[in-house]
Amino acid sequence: MKDEREAGGKADEGRAGFVCDVLPQADPTTVSETLRAAASQGDLKPEDRLKLTLPDNDEFAELYAAGLATGIDEDTLIAKSMGLNSPSQMSEIQLEYKERIKTKMRARVQVQRQKETLRPGYKEFENGKTYYERGMYPEALTAFTKALDEQGPFTKLGGEIQMWQALSYQACGREEEAKAVYLSVENSHPMPQLRKQAYELR
pLDDT at site 171: 95
Q: Residue 189 phi/psi, 5° resolution?
A: -75, 140
pLDDT at site 188: 93
Domain boundaries for CATH 1.25.40 within the chain: 122-201
Rounded CA gap, 202 and 191, in Å?
Answer: 17
Rounded CA gap, 113 and 50, in Å?
Answer: 22
pLDDT at site 142: 96
pLDDT at site 97: 79
Q: With 0-12 CB in 10 A as exposed, 13-18 as middle and 19+ as buried, what is 183?
A: middle
Is the CATH number of domain 122-201 2.60.120?
no
Q: What is the pLDDT along the chain (202 residues), one digit of tens a residue?
A: 444 444 444 444 443 443 444 344 444 344 344 444 444 444 434 444 444 345 555 666 777 777 777 778 888 888 877 777 888 888 888 887 788 878 887 888 777 777 766 778 889 999 999 999 999 999 999 999 999 999 999 988 899 999 999 999 999 999 999 999 999 999 999 888 888 889 988 8
pLDDT at site 137: 96
Rounded CA gap, 202 and 117, in Å?
Answer: 29
